[in-house]
Structure 1
Amino acid sequence: MSTANGPVQGIQAFDAAPPNATIANLNNWQDVAVWKGIPYAASTAGNNRWRPPQPRAPWNTTFVADRFGDGCPTTSGQSPNVSEDCLNLNIWSAANSSDAKLPVILWTHPAGGSGADPLFDGAGMAAQGIVFVNYNHRDGAFGFLALPELTKEFLSDTNANATVGANWAVLDQYAALRWVHGNIAAFGGDPGRITVVGQSAGSAAVYHTVNAPHDLVPEGTVFAAIAESGIRDPRDPLAASLAESYNNATYSLQLGEAFLKVNNATTLSELRKIPWKNLRGTASFPGSGGGFRPTLDGYALSDTYARLLARPPSHSVPLMTGNTRDESGAVFGLNMTLAQYTAAITKQYGTLSERALAAWPASNDSEAEAAFNLHWQDTSRVSSWGFARGWNNVSSSPIYTYFWDHAPPGQNQGAHHMSEINYVFNNLYKTNLPWQLEDYAIARRMSAYWANFARTGRPNVDVDARQDDLPVWRPTLANETVTMRVGDGWGDILIAGKERIRLITDYFNEQVPF
């Protein structure tokens, strides 16, 4: 295959037939190829540390893409090696020619992840007729450090209309997208149908992309967007602490000064000379008051979530978002007494606590555990619905919401954070859990929804007879209090009872929008 940087050569994705290939709709597994570790930008070492991703020098010989590239520092993913030369991506495709024009999924991993993680293997989606791409980006201090010197350098280098230079990881994400748009046709992908998908911190990257200025993400680059365990009502207090959270410029600069001190440095030049393995506090550190995350800079992150939701997005594309049952406050197997439950609800809801305790009643410890989790599950569904209402007010494109409730076998966290990913990507073959036949059937259905969305911007599409059993998934409308249940059941469910919706909405209205 030819890319703008030079030719690349891939390998077969499967060495043998995956388990239950027929049930999983992977009968064409022999057609899937993978190209691993293709650089999309230059090394971030030396003077490129804390700079926007720089162009990669072309190569003259064929780049043999048969192994994953290095992961970025601070990754907890399963990269074979870690270094600052880590801006690389992986492509899975079953296209039989460069003219195939298959839809494309670009996956952004959650915090600490990497493209080499088996959980993000794309061969199962490629078998559905999707060109699947994942990639590495910087994180922690390497991805989000802010200093006055960096701001001056950044503005001098780019002439960007930014208040601070800090969002190196976000700029990596945009660079990867631009690379895919410019090169994916060679791998059988359609550059006009790129769906950006991410989970947790990756879902925040999706929303950043939807709102990115056109000089960073040109108009028409994005076809659709899926934010898993992601975007919430900006009045929801959890929006300020979960994956979509960000720092203001003042705080990021204070954190940068603390980073200088903890590394016994006084200048940017001194920091860049320290080997990356010797840098301290690259994720967070005692006394810092928190970790590194995106900064509201007026450029890569152009505005607050609340203000962004009050105006049309830069890229008005079909959007999907949702949550899992046992995350965002809900804890499977929670051990909580009635007294603890009452105290927690009273502290959270304040003057609304009497209504809250009546909305989620409990008279003993067992009921308290169930009520506490149900209150968080209701909150997640109402929060997604609240965001959808805002989106419907300003966007001409539909939004779809979901609630995942299937617990993978062989673990004790329930339908936990990240538990849907194996099913979405139809890659159960990459995770060592005691999968049952029902898990393969669920994965087949989930991946069909995601693949359809990448094809058409809708979860339902009559592609062929194999998809006749897909329940209808309708857009989330402002006047309907329903979401799509996926996992242990399929179809519309109420986001919560009317009184609970009113209560959660009243609670949100008391908060400062994020």
Structure 2
Amino acid sequence: MKNHLALGLMAGAANAALYEDVITTNFGQVQGYPAFNSTPSGNLTNWKDITVWKGIPYAASTAGKNRWAAPKPAPNWNTTLYAKSYGDICPSTSSSPGYTISEDCLNLNIWTSATSTKQKRPVVMWSYPAYSTAADSLFDGSGMADAGIVYVNYNYRTGALGWLAHPELSQERVDTVGFNSSGNYGMLDQFAALKWIKENIEAFGGDPDHITVMGQSAGSAATQHILNSPLTKGLIVGAIIESGVRDPHDPLCETLAENYRNLTFALGQGVDYLADKNASTIAAARNMNYTAFVDSDFPPTSSSWTFTATLDHYALPNTYEDTLLKGAANDVPIITGNTRDESGATYGLNITIAEYLADLNATYSGEWIDKFLELYPANNASQASASENAQFTDRSIIGTWLWARKWKQAAKSPVYTYIWDHAPPGQTQGAYHESEINYVLNNLYGTDSPWTDKDYEIAATMNAYWVNFIKTGNPNGQGLTEWRESSNEEVTQRLGDGFESVPLTDPERVKLMEEWLLTQPIW
């Protein structure tokens, strides 16, 4: 009788929520906490089992000699880390009220509803967009955890502290890994977070051999870099790139999240930048307070510096065009797409015919202006506003489709493309940049928008597509409208106010956009 009782107690403990346990990582022990103390609104059914660990270091402080260096391993800790609060966030150009900012900011957060450390559930790593932090409620992971996914988000360096290149730093890289280049320290943070997950996530009920990477905007660039880089080869099974990839001929590649600069530019800027800060050497700059290197590059712009990814042929191995032609380091299934009202398209736009024509002249030239005006006409102000938006939305949809077509030239894995068209309630920006995030993460409970029953239904469907993809590499599943793999057929998946396969746009517009893009420089 006693033996049966003991076995029953052991079985109960094995199936308890993981916040009942102390988890052992490669660096020390951590204690998690219940994600909810009461029933959340929305579609969650396993909320009582969801455990969250916040602020776990995945790398050492980036201060002092570790500034502008590849992330170093986190120091071991000897006592249990009570992971109840978010860690410090990395210095940023945006204001961050309510957060503690420091250079000891390379930490991550984990959500799971696993009730055993042996369950090996699929894992997703979320990379946030620019001017954000992993602590933002928009990126809460309980909705994913509720559906059986182990969800991880993390902080990484940005601005000058994350992307500075300099000849002295290039020499340091030569001395350590043999590559004569520098920059991309924020990117190396992203890679380090992924490697920490690979090495430690099994202790949290995750499968280290089944990691999908996902992100939006700047986070989509991070995801694309993980997909492409030889430094992460073999670490992932899928990638979700939201707002998003586009044809490498598109001039927007120079200005949107996926932009990069060549090494010559980055090194020259680095020399000028330190001189502007009155720092004669990297060593001197490392002894300065980090606040000297937090420059405002958020509109309205007050900085002439461009700190972004560098084509270093180390972390970022090649141009996007050549990477597509030769094949990315990770040949894995992909979801990628855009929202209707982003990347130049503005919901509720009201411009004059003259303003529309000025914009066309600024973008196109010569005979292309007349060709675009024929398919995107402007006989009155209302039509001019509609055409302005249509050509930018079409450019995103077509550019993503062209990217997918090029991906298939060297890759065996499928791509699923989409256009998101639902405008969340309580705002006037339409289906704006970032507007899909609440829905794919199914975390409407964490924000105070006036959600309706329709929003909860859309979130359940969006989350189901994303969860299916994370689990199987295919978004389709029972009860969902079929989402067809991208092909030469000129269609994409509509998500939001409807769920269906739709034409990219008018075929003549597709042809025109493709012909124009071929005349542009390659990224």
Counterpart position of 1:402: 418
Q: Which runs of 5+ in 2 are unaligned?
A: 1-22
**Structure 2 counterpart of 1:369, from 385, 389, 397:** 385
Q: Which amino acid aligns with 2:163?
A: F
**Structure 1 counterpart of 2:198, from 153, 174, 181:** 181
Structural mapping, 1:119-158, within 5 Å = 119-158=138-177
Share of identical aligned residues, percent?
A: 49
Counterpart position of 1:465: none
Task: Specify the SS of the correspondent of 2:232.
Answer: coil
**Structure 2 counterpart of 1:327, from 342, 351, 359:** 342
Q: Cα distance 1:129–1:257, how it changes in 2: closer, same or farther (>3 A)? A: same
| Shift, 1:16, TM fit | 1.3
Q: Is the 8 A contact 1:78 1:116 kept in 2?
A: no
d(CA) in 2 for partners of 1:286 and 1:333?
Answer: 25
**Structure 2 counterpart of 1:49, from 40, 56, 67:** 67
**Structure 2 counterpart of 1:13, from 14, 30, 35:** 35
d(CA) in 2 for partners of 1:211 and 1:170?
Answer: 12
1:482 matches 2:497 = no
Counterpart position of 1:243: 257
d(CA) in 1 for partners of 2:134 and 2:294?
Answer: 25
| Shift, 1:287, TM fit | 8.8
**Structure 2 counterpart of 1:266, from 257, 273, 280:** 280
Q: Which runs of 5+ in 1 are unaligned?
A: 463-467
Counterpart position of 1:453: 469
Counterpart position of 2:87: 69
Counterpart position of 2:19: none
Q: Is the 8 A contact 2:296 2:302 kept in 1?
A: no
Q: Per-residue CA shift, 1:286-309, capped at 9, x if unaligned?
A: 896442001000010011111111
**Structure 1 counterpart of 2:330, from 315, 327, 341:** 315
Q: Which amino acid aligns with 2:356?
A: Y
d(CA) in 2 for partners of 1:252 and 1:324?
Answer: 31
1:196 matches 2:205 = no
Q: Is the 8 A contact 1:141 1:283 kept in 2?
A: no
Q: Cα distance 1:61–1:39, how it changes in 2: closer, same or farther (>3 A)? A: same
d(CA) in 2 for partners of 1:150 and 1:286?
Answer: 27
TM-score normalised by the chain length of structure 2: 0.93
| Shift, 1:277, TM fit | 2.1
Q: Per-residue CA shift, 1:192-222, capped at 9, x if unaligned?
A: 1100001111111111111111xx2242x10
Q: Per-residue CA shift, 1:199-253, capped at 9, x if unaligned?
A: 111111111111111xx2242x101000000111001111111000001111111
Q: Is the 8 A contact 1:69 1:79 kept in 2?
A: no
d(CA) in 2 for partners of 1:79 and 1:395?
Answer: 44
Q: Which amino acid aligns with 1:5?
A: F
d(CA) in 2 for partners of 1:286 and 1:137?
Answer: 22
Q: Which amino acid aligns with 2:382?
A: S
Q: Is the 8 A contact 2:233 2:330 kept in 1?
A: no
Q: Which amino acid aligns with 2:200?
A: N
Q: Is the 8 A contact 2:425 2:451 kept in 1?
A: yes
Q: Is the 8 A contact 2:112 2:145 kept in 1?
A: yes
Q: Which amino acid aligns with 1:490?
A: F
**Structure 1 counterpart of 2:101, from 76, 82, 103:** 82
d(CA) in 2 for partners of 1:190 and 1:197?
Answer: 16
Q: Which amino acid aligns with 2:317?
A: S
Q: Per-residue CA shift, 1:285-342, capped at 9, x if unaligned?
A: 9896442001000010011111111112111000111000000110112121012112
1:354 matches 2:370 = yes
Counterpart position of 1:206: 223
Q: Is the 8 A contact 2:160 2:293 kept in 1?
A: no
| Larger CA deviation: 337-346 vs 108-117 | 337-346
Q: Is the 8 A contact 2:156 2:190 kept in 1?
A: yes
d(CA) in 1 for partners of 2:33 and 2:143?
Answer: 16
The alignment of Structure 1 onto Structure 2 pairs a total of residues equal to 498
Question: What RMSD over aligned residues (CA atoms) do the two structures have, in Å?
Answer: 1.5
**Structure 2 counterpart of 1:255, from 250, 259, 269:** 269
Task: Specify the SS of the correspondent of 1:475.
Answer: coil
| Shift, 1:158, TM fit | 2.6
1:99 matches 2:149 = no
d(CA) in 1 for partners of 2:240 and 2:303?
Answer: 33
Task: Specify the SS of the correspondent of 2:417.
Answer: strand
Counterpart position of 1:301: 316
Q: Cα distance 1:38–1:75, how it changes in 2: closer, same or farther (>3 A)? A: farther
Q: Cα distance 1:286–1:367, how it changes in 2: closer, same or farther (>3 A)? A: closer
**Structure 1 counterpart of 2:508, from 477, 487, 499:** 499
Task: Specify the SS of the correspondent of 2:174.
Answer: helix
Q: Which amino acid aligns with 2:226?
A: T
Q: Cα distance 1:78–1:402, how it changes in 2: closer, same or farther (>3 A)? A: farther
Task: Specify the SS of the correspondent of 1:373.
Answer: helix
Q: Per-residue CA shift, 1:50-82, capped at 9, x if unaligned?
A: 100001111111111000000000164666211
| Shift, 1:117, TM fit | 0.5
Task: Specify the SS of the correspondent of 2:268.
Answer: helix
d(CA) in 1 for partners of 2:98 and 2:55?
Answer: 11
TM-score normalised by the chain length of structure 1: 0.94
Q: Per-residue CA shift, 1:421-460, capped at 9, x if unaligned?
A: 0101000111111111101111111011111110000001
| Shift, 1:283, TM fit | 4.8
d(CA) in 2 for partners of 1:233 and 1:92?
Answer: 35
| Shift, 1:461, TM fit | 2.7
**Structure 2 counterpart of 1:38, from 56, 63, 68:** 56
**Structure 2 counterpart of 1:278, from 278, 286, 292:** 292
Q: Is the 8 A contact 1:92 1:133 kept in 2?
A: yes
